[in-house]
Amino acid sequence: MSVVQPVLSVRDLRVEFVTRRGALKAIDGISFDIAKGEVLGVVGESGAGKSVTGSAVIGLIDPPGRIAGGEILLSGMRIDNLPPEEMRRIRGKRIGMIFQDPLTSLNPLYRVSEQLVETIRTHTNLSSSAARKRAIDLLADVGIPAPERRIDSYPHEFSGGMRQRVVIALALCVEPELIIADEPTTALDVSVQAQIIALLKRLGREHGTAIMLVTHDMGVIAETADRVAVMYAGRIAEIGPVRDVVQNPLHPYAKGLMGAIPSLESAADRLVQIPGSMPRLSAIPPGCPFNPRCPYVFDRCRVERPEPIQQSEHRVACHLYDQSSVRSEAVA
Amino acid sequence: MTDALQAAPTASGPTTWAGRFLDSDVWASFKRSKLTMAAAFLTLLFLAVAILAGVLAPQNPFDPAQLDLLNSRLPPIWDAEGQTPFLLGSDEQGRDIFSAILYGLRISLLVGFLGVAFSATLGIALGLVAGYLGGTVDAIIMRVADVQLTFPAILIALLVDGVVKAVLGGQLDPATTLSVLVFSIGLSFWVQYARTVRGSVMVEKNKDYIAAARLIGLPAPVIMFRHILPNVMGPVLVIATINLALAIITEATLSFLGTGMPETMPSLGTLIRIGNNYLFSGEWWIVAFPGIALALLVLAINLLGDWLRDALNPKLR
Amino acid sequence: MTERSYVEVNDLRRVFDVSKPWLNRVLEGGEKQYLKAVDGVSFNIAKGETFALVGESGSGKSTVARMVVGLLPPTSGEVIIDGISMSSRAALAERQRLRRRIQMIFQDPYASLNPRWQVDQIVAEPIRAFGLIDGEKDIAGRVGELLSFVGLHPADGKKYPHEFSGGQRQRIAIARALASNAEFIVCDEPTSALDVSVQAQILNLMRDLQDRLGLTYLFISHNLAVVRHMASRIGVMYLGRIVEISNGRELFSRPKHPYTRMLLDAVPDVGMTGRQRIPVSGEIPNPISPPSGCTFNPRCPFANERCVAEVPPLLGGVACHAIHEGRLGIDAAA
């Protein structure tokens, strides 16, 4: 790690859901950093724990879920054990949020101007006219045409893509250090999706905001993120620079995942397929959680949990890359 | 097949019906709630004593030959003037209150269950048809329901009861009276079922499993009853439980008002009406014990209904 | 078409009445409103071929699918499958027989299986409905066979849908579609509710089944990469019309219609890390009041007065005035 302090630092985070059948481990010991101006993509299939990770960072895990261990640091300050009231202030000021459905972030009863101005004034000491001017600038910044006219509309008067832009403006208006974007483009059409991706990327760069982009869409990650964490069954299977992970994945799950995505470039006759599916939280196998589906599985994988190993710029949790493991198995 | 996925059957829980039930969330929430368990116990107890009334009761209160006017208006047994076997005292005809309660429970529960069965059948059928067919049929059924909802249920029951009795004329034998009660209660409660079922049907009928059934050319009644009906029964069960309590109260009210069960074959409501006449002359037990029995029964069933509503609603769990 | 197509869709239209209820119209004023979900769609599918319709939400592709299988009656136009018209009243008996041969796979595997039915009942239903096999034992045998055919275990038949994952449920839906020995299967976004690794399993399975059973597919999707992987011919839909129709390879290597080009450029793709894209402008207009002429004209960089006034016909596989006039330097017939 460099001397520059990361904006977000997650250390050995564990999240549990307590049910009558015992505690289910939704997140089981994950660690990652996001630097200033960096976009970290968190990708995984349903049940991988990617959204729970996002919720844990912003302190919005609903019971019966709870953080069971580890720590979350925002610019060096520990935030996972803060009282709810303080956490709420941090969410408003230092962490912005963008969700899949823009309507969850916007109040349908208030004009966009009221919501933006109120948020700006709560966290700065701008006058209301100055706040309104700033809100208009922000709307222009996120690509809303004629912002001085549109600002007084209600959320339902915007189309889906425009609404998501308003949410991004709302998330940006207090200049947060970190933005958590949970499937921000999933509900949008392809042609609109591309616009939102480009916008997020540009704003992250211009404002120096760290972005944690949670999505199931590897294409979106490939285009937007600087680094990517591939999650599987509550753990990070592999984390590294996005181009490396996409073109040269190391973890067998990441390999399978990349091969499974049909590409526009080449029409392969058959897609690579990983047999089976993600285990349910109540039935995560011992050892490496991927072992029942892994083509390279060997005895150690079934009993011992693989710890992340540094492999050039990647960190990969797989026994195949451990020098002490018996390397008799061929690695493709 | 090139597909290398000839997997073993996926692991899963118990496969028998009982095993599934014992493993379910509904059963778990039942075991968690002491109050619900008490209510269930009480309801079962009432059911059991009603069914076994013939064995448990010292006297058959419906048989005039067993009544002796000399035993009339006896206080409960713990009173100085109490006599065996009149555990809870007797009424003015020498009827043992305890026995009358057991037999009355039997009638109340019978009318309750039959009334619920009748109104549920009617309401579910109309709700299914209205929801599935939509259009004019839906409009007609639901407007009738709307109009009926503007009257209190008891008024409808009284009206139906009055009309039927006027048509049949004169004194009715107890079996016919009972049928008339069931009919009038059933007609006054169908709306709630119809509305709920219609709402659920409108959601279900747009799901793709219905499209798949239509695709193979199944006729509408088969789709309604075999595909949709099992999927809308959850809320119906909750309404039926709560309506059982309502039906019992309605029967008691009708009997109390004198249009229900006759004095020769009293239900709990009839007993309360009889006792009401003697309340101020000091014979409190004639009204009190049937009243307590009725209140407990209705409370227990309502508690069960409340719990069922919460347990079957995943949003509240 | 040199030989007779297996599926012929001729000038299909569907209009939905989206007006407010009568009483509201009377009280609040306002006219009846109509939505042209599908506006003159024609295509052919040869036997054993996969034809795909691709488009964004509101393009009418799912409405076409539902009209082709007969779940929704067309406002006008005709669907002819194996020489039998789906809309003629005369051929009622023939249409009933045709039904057995057409099946559909739906988008949401959580909604397309009846949650209260055991899996073997679900798969056996078409067999019973069409009276294909007599005797419970033989039906059970066939159901077991179908389940292993799609990669499940015959013993899985005793379970309920909620005990399976999304991908397994989609396998069950495929088994049900095959139960009536269907020849033509309409797939409405069959993998868009699934995770990528599971999507790959299902797409591979569908291709294997096509090779083994000679199935014909109409494949509906919004995902261009999936369509490219599955289809031999592709129609691109925009606001109820087909704007371009061509064989798969050509559509991706030489897209013609400005909308197709924009769409191809917009898709986030794993192979394009760090690529600079041409910015896409605008959003899909409200289909209740679509733009006049070519519905793409407000977003099209090549639009002129003719595009605003006149609906372009589908000529040489593309519906675009600019291409027909040679303004873009692309030959339509190529």
Q: Which residues of B touch A275 (CB under 8 A)?
A: 4-5, 7
Q: What is the pLDDT of residues C16-40, one digit of tens each?
A: 988 777 777 788 777 888 889 999 9
| C-beta of residue C64 within 8 angstroms of C-beta of residue C38 | yes
pLDDT at C276: 54
pLDDT at B174: 80
The two three-digit tokens of residue A174, written as one number: 């207090």
pLDDT at A197: 83
pLDDT at A317: 92
Of all residues in chain C, the one with the smallest CA distance to A158 is C283
C200/A259 touch (CB, cutoff 8 Å), yes or no: yes
In which residue are the tokens 């909604």 written?
A: C111
The mean-pLDDT minimum among B15-24, C115-124, C147-156 falls in B15-24
| C-beta of residue A246 within 8 angstroms of C-beta of residue A314 | no
Q: How confident is the model at residue C331 (pLDDT cuts 50, 70, 90)?
A: low
Q: Give the whole-angstrom CA distance, residue C271 versus residue A223.
A: 9
CB-nearest to C71 from B5, B7, B211 is: B211
Q: Give the whole-angstrom CA distance, residue C326 versus residue C321.
A: 8
Q: How confident is the model at residue B13 (pLDDT cuts 50, 70, 90)?
A: low
Q: Give the whole-angstrom CA distance, residue B119 versus residue B131.
A: 17
Question: Range of B269's domain?
Answer: 85-312
pLDDT at C321: 93
Write out residues 153-212 of C within 8 Å (CB-CB) of A. 165-168, 195-201, 203-204, 207
pLDDT at C267: 78
Q: Is A12 helix (H, G, I), strand (E, B) or coil?
A: strand
Q: What is the pLDDT of residues A155-209, one digit of tens each?
A: 888 888 888 889 988 888 888 899 999 988 887 787 778 788 888 888 888 888 9
- The mean of the pLDDT values for chain C is 87
Which residues of A sit within 8 Å Cβ distance of B? Answer: 20, 275-276, 283
Is residue A200 less than 8 Å (CB to CB) from chain C?
no
Is residue A248 less than 8 Å (CB to CB) from chain C?
no
A70 contact partners, CB below 8 Å, separation of at least 6: A10, A11, A12, A13, A14, A29, A30, A31, A80
CB-nearest to C96 from B2, B217, B231 is: B217
The mean-pLDDT minimum among A102-116, B162-176, C131-145, C315-329 falls in B162-176
Q: What is the pLDDT of residues C250-308, one digit of tens each?
A: 888 888 999 998 888 887 776 655 555 555 677 778 888 889 999 999 888 888 999 99
Q: What CA–CA distances, in Å, run from B286 to A76, B103, B280?
A: 78, 15, 11
Peptide bond into A83 cis (omega under 30): no
Q: Which residues of C touch A262 (CB under 8 A)?
A: 200, 203, 223, 225-226, 228-229
Residue B231 domain flag? yes
Is residue B7 scored above 70 in pLDDT?
no
Is residue B19 scored above 60 in pLDDT?
yes
pLDDT at C66: 93
pLDDT at A330: 46
Peptide bond into A64 cis (omega under 30): yes
ipTM for the assembly: 0.86
Q: Where are the domains of chain C?
A: 7-238, 254-270+279-334
B58 contact partners, CB below 8 Å, separation of at least 6: B85, B87, B96, B98, B99
Reported pTM? 0.84
Q: For residue B268, what is the domain's CATH number?
A: 1.10.3720.10
Contacts 24+ apart (CB under 8 A), A275-280: A275/B4, A275/B5, A275/B7, A275/C201, A276/B5, A276/B7, A277/C165, A277/C166, A277/C167, A277/C168, A277/C195, A277/C197, A277/C198, A278/A45, A278/A46, A278/A47, A278/A48, A278/A232, A278/A233, A278/C165, A278/C195, A279/A47, A279/A233, A280/A47
B208/C107 touch (CB, cutoff 8 Å), yes or no: yes
> Residue B96 has what DSSP assignment?
B
B7/A276 touch (CB, cutoff 8 Å), yes or no: yes
In which residue are the tokens 């227990």 written?
A: B300
Distance of CA A184 to the CA centre of its chain: 10
pLDDT at B197: 94
Which residues of B sit within 8 Å Cβ distance of A? Answer: 4-5, 7, 11, 28
Residue B57 domain flag? no
Of all residues in chain B, the one with the smallest CA distance to A271 is B3
Q: How confident is the model at residue B316 (pLDDT cuts 50, 70, 90)?
A: very low
B254 contact partners, CB below 8 Å, separation of at least 6: B154, B157, B158, B161, B181, B184, B260, B269
pLDDT at C114: 93
pLDDT at B14: 56
Is residue C70 less than 8 Å (CB to CB) from chain B?
yes
Rg over alpha carbons for chain C, rounded to the nearest Å, is 22
Q: Which chains reach chain C with 3 or more Cβ–Cβ distances below 8 angstroms? A: A, B
Closest CA to A243 of A228, A230, A233: A228
Contacts 24+ apart (CB under 8 A), C318-322: C318/C243, C318/C244, C318/C245, C318/C246, C318/C256, C318/C257, C319/C241, C319/C242, C319/C243, C319/C244, C319/C257, C319/C294, C320/C243, C320/C244, C320/C256, C320/C257, C320/C258, C320/C294, C321/C294, C322/C258
Tell me how crowded residue B122 is: count the other CB atoms within 10 A of its CB.
17
Q: What is the pLDDT of residues B34-83, one digit of tens each?
A: 899 999 999 999 999 989 888 888 888 888 777 777 777 777 777 777 77
Residue B112 domain flag? yes
Residue B246 domain flag? yes
CA distance C169 to chain A (A): 12
Q: What are phi and psi of A178, to 5 degrees?
A: -135, 140
Residue B53 domain flag? no
pLDDT at C262: 86
Q: How many helices (H) and strands (E) does chain C have?
A: 12, 10
Q: Give the whole-angstrom CA distance, residue C218 versus residue C40.
A: 18
pLDDT at A211: 93
pLDDT at C264: 85
pLDDT at B314: 55
CA distance C190 to chain A (A): 15
What mean pLDDT do residues A20-43 have? 90
A258 contact partners, CB below 8 Å, separation of at least 6: A218, A246, A249, A272, C270
CA quadruple B309, B311, B312, B314: dihedral sign: positive
Is residue C185 scored above 80 in pLDDT?
yes
Q: Which residues of B touch C67 (CB under 8 A)?
A: none
C50 contact partners, CB below 8 Å, separation of at least 6: C210, C216, C217, C219, C230, C231, C232, C233
The mean-pLDDT minimum among B96-100, B128-132, C41-45, C109-113 falls in B96-100
CATH architecture entry for C7-238 = 3-Layer(aba) Sandwich (3.40)
CA distance B12 to chain C (A): 7
Of all residues in chain C, the one with the smallest CA distance to A197 is C268
- Cα within 13 Å of Cα(C47), Cβ side: 11
pLDDT at A1: 46
Amino acid, res. C222: H
Q: How confident is the model at residue C183 (pLDDT cuts 50, 70, 90)?
A: very high
CB-nearest to A20 from B7, B11, B28 is: B28
Is residue B9 scored above 70 in pLDDT?
no
pLDDT at B16: 64
Q: Give the whole-angstrom CA distance, residue C324 versus residue A121.
A: 56
Is residue B5 scored above 50 in pLDDT?
no
| C-beta of residue A210 within 8 angstroms of C-beta of residue A225 | no
CB pairs under 8 A between B and C: 82
Residue B8 domain flag? no
Beta bridge partners of C195: none
Q: How confident is the model at residue C102 (pLDDT cuts 50, 70, 90)?
A: very high
| C-beta of residue B308 within 8 angstroms of C-beta of residue B43 | no
Is residue A20 scored above 50 in pLDDT?
yes
Apex A264 CA angle, A262 and A266, nearest 5: 80
Q: Which residues of A touch C204 (CB under 8 A)?
A: 270-271, 273
- The mean of the pLDDT values for chain A is 86
| C-beta of residue C206 within 8 angstroms of C-beta of residue C170 | no
Number of domains into which chain B is organized: 1
Determine what percent of chain A is predicted with pLDDT higher than 70. 95
